[in-house]
Amino acid sequence: MIGKLNHVAIAVPDLEKATAVYRDMLGARVSNPVDQPDHGVTVVFVELPNTKIELLRPLGEGSPIAGFLKRNPDGGMHHVCYEVDDILVARDRMKATGARILGDGEPKTGAHGKPVLFLHPKDFTGTLVELEQV
């Protein structure tokens, strides 16, 4: 059911510093920062030949990333994102197998402008999983 790895998301306390590491030290191509108010984050994408790294910083007091950074002040891996052909089929299959969908269970528009869902990390070996329809 899952397709390619779309991206690995890393929460960072300083987005400009993290962007510089990937751009200046590692020579990667990086996007400009984009606010995603529906998700409470500002994102930068690091483009790699086979996938992307998503750098996340909190946007606003209620950001889920703010809570993550309180527990992990230096930042760290936040989630992995896998591609799926049909987000509703994937959701229904996940629910049928006992996986918990975070939020209200309805897809939201993600940073790429495509429908996404997040799956509870306790159901996936401690890793928050994002599914993105391609």
* Residues that are catalytic: 130
Beta strand pairing call for 34-36 and 108-109: unpaired
Q: Which is nearest to 1 in space by CA: 130, 67, 93?
A: 93
Give the sign of the dihedral formed by CA 56, CA 62, CA 67, CA 69. positive
Q: How far apart are CA 17 and CA 4, in angstroms?
A: 29
Cα angle value 22/12/34 (rounded, 5°): 75
**Which residues fall within 8 angstroms of residue 91, CB to CB, at 6 or more apart?**
101, 105, 107, 117, 131
Structure-token pair, residue 132: 């993105």
